[in-house]
Each structure stands twice: as C-alpha cells, then as structure tokens.
A and B are shown apart, each in its own frame.
Chain A
Amino acid sequence: MSTKFGRLVPLVFSKRGFSTSTSVQKGGGGSEEGLKSLNLCSAINQALHIALDSDPRSYVFGEDVSFGGVFRCTTGLADQFGKKRVFNTPLCEQGIVGFGIGLAAMGNRAIAEIQFADYIFPAFDQIVNEAAKFRYRSGNQFNCGGLTVRAPYGAVGHGGHYHSQSPEAFFCHVPGIKVVIPRSPRQAKGLLLSCIRDPNPVVFFEPKWLYRLAVEEVPEDDYMLPLSEAEVIRQGSDVTLVGWGAQLAIMEQACLDAEKEGISCELIDLKTLIPWDKETVESSVNKTGRLLVSHEAPITGGFGAEISASIVERCFSRLEAPVARICGLDTPFPLVFEPFYMPTKNKILDAIKSTVKY
C-alpha cells in the first residue's frame, strides 16, 4: 500500500455554509421531540451505535476504527460493544472489503470503513468483481447483501490528490451495488441505517468537509430514510439543479443569488446515485424546462453525464436549453489551486444565468 502521510488532517474552519434546509421531508424521524443538535460525524456515530445495538450480528471494522476512527465516527463503539465486534484490521483495503464480503456472506452485517475514499481503489476488484456479482453469479444461492462500505469523501480545503477525491462515478457503472451520499447530519443518520439494513452491498460516501461543519437537529431515535429517493429541497420554476453531498450547499448559495436576479431555482438532492431517482428529476425538469447538474468529481465520465443523457432522453421536447454540467476540472485534484478547481458558487450562478437566457 502507498504511504499515507497526513491522514490525520486537521480541519480548517471556513465561512462555508451547509445544506440542511428541508422543504419536503419524507419520513425524517417523525415528531420534533427527541431532537439533539449534532454534526455529521456524531450523526454517523449515532447510526453505528443503533446498528450495533439493534443487530447482534453486526460488526464495524477497518483501519484505526477501534479508538474512534481518524474522524471520530466510531467513538465509543468498541467500549460499548466489545473488540470482537468493533476492531482494527491490518492495513490492507482489499483485505478489508474481502473480509467484509465473507462476513456478510454468512448472514452478518459487515460495516467496513475505508479511511479515505481515495484509498478504496485497492478494493475495487473486491467491490466490482465480487461484492456486486456475488448474488447474481450464484443464482441467489449466496449473497453478501449485509455489506456496507463507508468512506470519507470529497474536498476538504487542503487534501491534495489523495484526501479529496469523489470516486462515486467509478462505482455507478457497476450493476449490483448501491451508491449513497448524504448532505447533512439528519440525512446521514437515516440513510446510513438504511444502507446497513439493505439486502444489497452499498458504498456510502461521507462528505468529510461536513463532518464538523454541518450541524442540525437530529432525531435521537432509530429512523431510516429510503434509498433511491431524491428530495426536492427547494422549490422553483425556472431551472432544476441536481447535486449530492457537500456540493448542495454551494448550489444552494447560487440559488439564493439567482433569486435576487429574478430566477427561480428548484434544487434536488439525489442522495442515492445508484439506483437513482429518475422520476423525481424528470418531473422537475418537465416543470422548469432546464437542468443543471453539479458535482466535485471531474466532468468527463462523471455521474452528471448519466443524469444529463437520461433527462435528454426523457424530456427532450420539454428542454428549453442544453443541460449544463458544472463540475470539477479534468485534472487530478490540486492542493494550492483548489479554489480554482472546485465548481464554485459563481461558476454555478453564471451557468444558471446563461441557461435561463439561452
């Protein structure tokens, strides 16, 4: 394995906001009682506590998870549930996922952690050729549906090449797995519990920029948010914006600025990328007539291309302008040039205006 200097990267606070607005909340934990203000990593931690508590056949393992994890998502788990169920593994990503597949194939809930999404590639063969095809290739005699692979994901301000990547598109071309990315603490807890209990292998990416910055009221009880269901988090009539993860916060700011210029934007959080909610995006674009997709990952081969092509197929006669994609550039993720690399609010705002004026 490669040497991973700086894995314990201290987070630098910024004035960047986060997306927690919810205009149409579906099953978000019921009543407003029993709420507690949590950040993203605490919400993840709560979800893991609930998963381990509610299912004695569930396990959490990976590099450095025993003491609480390098982002503190597994704090307190080993103390409460024991080192046989929450444990460190040797430093080997293909071994972590392969081990998880075997554990899940025996009917357990295997919650594997890959320390940074950038280091999930050594496990790519295990995820793509094994986990995704395990059920299909055996004629459903065997499955590893209990496997969930969670990993910190996305830009963090200073992660450079190997602590900033957004590899979701690599996995979206793989039938047999699900890919889920939350935007906020409340979403993360509900979505992660759904992933853990889903009968299919799931890759769950956690926007690490939000681990401590995103704070909101989160129900303390056990609740699940449905997979493969997008959410309209902002109603609008002139243009539809689609995104996921931390990028939604940037998009939301662009929507606010666009509104000052008389443009009404609808904002959709996709949440699950595979299988994705085509119907919600389609009905929105049929209303607005325009689509803009934004993601941190590089534009070529990014998941925005799949959304764009699908919507053009489905809404061709309704589209008033070409689909806009405002994404990361087609380069490795740079260190000092991050502000120019990222699909910023201004890039999105410019695209919104040119789309509406097309």
Chain B
Amino acid sequence: MKVLVAVKRVVDYNVKVRVKSDGTGVDIANVKMSMNPFDEIAVEEATRLKEKGMATEVIAISCGPTQCQETLRTAMAIGADRGILVETSEELQPLAVAKLLKAIVDKEQPGLIILGKQAIDDDCNQTGQMLAALADLPQATFASKVEVADGKAQVTREVDGGLETLSVTMPAVITTDLRLNEPRYVTLPNIMKAKKKQLDVFKPEDLGVNVAPRIKTLKVSEPPKRSAGIKVPDVATLVDKLKNTSKVI
C-alpha cells in the first residue's frame, strides 16, 4: 500500500505575524517558514506505518511556490520516499489544493492519504474533508490513533467531549490531531539522504486543475487590542476587583 502525505509550508508557529499597514495581508517577507506542525505528525504517522510493514511507499506532496521543495525535503528526511511538488505562484485555497491532491490520488492510487487537521496560517480545517468528498472516499478527521488491518483503518478521533472510534474502508483520508504521535527530529545523515530522493514537479495545468481562488480577501486587519490590565498585589485585592469592579463573580 502506498501512503500519500500532504505537507504545507507555513509561517513557523513561534512567529507572531504582523498585519501589513495597507491591510492587504500579513507580512511574511523574511519570516521563518516551516512545515505545518500537523503535517509533521502526518509524515511521522506514514513513516511509522512503513516501519511496521503496513505501507510500501510514502509519498509527500506539497502545493505552492518553489520554496515548498524545502518542506518536501524535510518530509523526506523524516521518512518519505519521494516527493511531488505542484508548483504555482497563485494563492491556493483549500478547494484548489483538494482538487490538485485528487488529481495526484488518481495518478498514484494510494491506499491511505494522511493530512494535518488544519494549517496554522489560514486555520481553515477543510482540505482533508474536501479531498475525501472529491475522491468519494471515507474520512476520519482529527485522528489521535490509527490502526490499519484487513483493508480497513480503525481511527480514534478527538471530538467535543471526548474520543470516538470509527472504522473506515480503505482507501481513506485521515487528518491528524496533535496527539497522534510525537514527530521525530530529522538527523543530519537523513537530511543528506533526502537530497538524493526523487522529487517530481507538476503545474496545475498539467493536472487539469483550475486553481483560481473562490473566496476574495477584501482586507486583513489587526484584531481589537485588549486594554492594558493591572497587576494586583494579593488575593484579597483580586477578589475585591472581581466582585466590585468587574462584577463577574
């Protein structure tokens, strides 16, 4: 079974982004970029499936500008066997990415497709579900545990109030939650090896996908600032403030 993993290059999660003063977006020039944290978990899970002998090949795929090659190399250093870049300088929204992934799924026929549950830049939480819909596959989102056996995947999901377990027939789409695994650190020898692995580049046109955005961003603004608070010297003052000033208790 082949496993396909989708990875996205995003602003590093430790960076506090700034909104551009002209309101056209956030300033990501000269900002540190990394692999989306949920996607690292997805690559780690695919690699573990391979190490357990469940998967024969792990293919990492990314859609976006040329620099996404670095993200794919990271995925290959974690354990992916080869990479696919769908290269475009256009803004890609989840529906467009899902269509690109669908085209690659048709080509590669993976048994399992693993994505992160959401990207930490657009915070959409859509692509996996959309891919499942377009490819007419079952989905198991927000996975915290995955067991593969007999053509089915048994997936424990994080839902409001606790956990639930589903069984989906493969091929299936799984999206990862934080607690699925702890991604390994990439080692220098693996980074060197990753440089030699195969990386194919396609354009959206090669795949016959129109990636024009459906949703237009009119403006991006700063969230409202909270007014500065005060430090209280002791618990008694705190209780007094809560009771008498804010009247919340």
Q: Do these two chains really belong together in a complex? A: no
